[in-house]
């Protein structure tokens, strides 16, 4: 099974790109959504989070995001601990999901693909890029609870656009100047060719 990663910084439009791939019949694994589900529902993950961060880490409805953000956002060591609990669980979940798929190839969508090391189990990685001001505008429109400074803080904690682009095999530019659909269709055809050549 050919396994492809789709990554990109916050507001780049990677989810939109994945929705287009999905309409082409490609199975998509949304790592960020699954991480949220696992954090709230996997007993061993919950236990480990509570052991490290205390009972306040969860409320009656799930992970206490405000509390956890205060704990890890400006503390690299605490963030490393949290990622060390969640990323391996997501990796196992992805492997199980991948083994059940039958599309021509499969896609794993993840914001922190390089940071988490999950790119190592994939054959190719696509980076979705967009100018930073456009990304900020998109996030502010989508997440009305965020401020521009908060969005910039998130962007500054992610890999730079240049590094993500350098480390990826393909680039899709989502700058609202170049058409998205032809780029995805061309990549789709290219990936089908790789699949046939295996």
So what's the pLDDT on residue 133? 95
Model confidence at 134, in pLDDT bands (50, 70, 90)? Answer: very high
Domain ranges of the chain: 1-26+105-198, 33-102
Q: Please give the Cα distance from 135 to 11 (Å, whole number).
A: 4
pLDDT tens string 73-119: 889 899 999 999 999 999 999 999 999 999 999 999 999 899 888 89
What's the Cα-to-Cα distance from 90 to each of 118, 148, 174, rounded to whole Å?
9, 30, 27
State yes or no: pLDDT of 172 exceeds 90: yes
State yes or no: pLDDT of 131 exceeds 80: yes
Model confidence at 144, in pLDDT bands (50, 70, 90)? Answer: confident
So what's the pLDDT on residue 88? 93
Q: Mean of the pLDDT values across residues 180-197?
A: 92
So what's the pLDDT on residue 195? 75
Axis crossing angle, helix 43-53 with helix 31-41, rounded to the nearest 10: 80
Instruction: Give Cβ neighbours of residue 114 (< 8 Å, ≥ 6 apart).
Output: 7, 125, 159, 163, 164, 167
So what's the pLDDT on residue 115? 87
So what's the pLDDT on residue 67? 93
Q: Mean of the pLDDT values across residues 154-177?
A: 94
pLDDT tens string 18-76: 999 999 999 999 999 999 999 999 999 999 999 999 999 999 999 998 899 899 988 98
State yes or no: pLDDT of 197 exceeds 90: no
pLDDT tens string 61-79: 999 988 998 999 889 899 9
So what's the pLDDT on residue 157? 85
State yes or no: pLDDT of 10 exceeds 90: yes
At the second CATH level, the architecture of 1-26+105-198 is: 3-Layer(aba) Sandwich (3.40)
Contact (Cβ atoms closer than 8 angstroms) between residue 109 and residue 122: no
């Amino acid at each position: 099974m050919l396994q492809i990663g789709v990554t990109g910084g916050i507001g780049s439009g990677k989810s939109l790109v994945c929705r287009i791939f999905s309409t082409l019949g490609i199975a998509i694994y949304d790592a960020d959504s699954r991480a949220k589900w696992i954090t709230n529902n996997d007993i061993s993950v919950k236990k480990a989070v509570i052991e490290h961060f205390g009972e306040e880490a969860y409320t009656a409805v799930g992970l206490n995001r405000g509390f956890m953000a205060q704990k890890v956002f400006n503390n690299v060591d605490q963030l490393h601990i949290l990622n060390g609990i969640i990323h391996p669980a997501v990796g196992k979940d992805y492997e199980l999901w991948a083994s059940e798929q039958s599309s021509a190839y499969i896609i794993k969508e993840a914001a922190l693909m390089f940071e988490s090391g999950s790119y190592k189990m994939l054959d190719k990685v696509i980076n979705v890029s967009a100018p930073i001001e456009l990304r900020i505008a998109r996030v502010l429109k989508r997440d009305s609870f965020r401020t521009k400074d908060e969005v910039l803080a998130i962007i500054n904690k992610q890999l730079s656009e240049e590094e993500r682009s350098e480390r990826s095999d393909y680039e899709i530019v989502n700058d609202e100047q170049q058409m998205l659909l032809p780029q995805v269709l061309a990549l789709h055809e290219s990936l089908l060719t790789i699949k046939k050549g295996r």
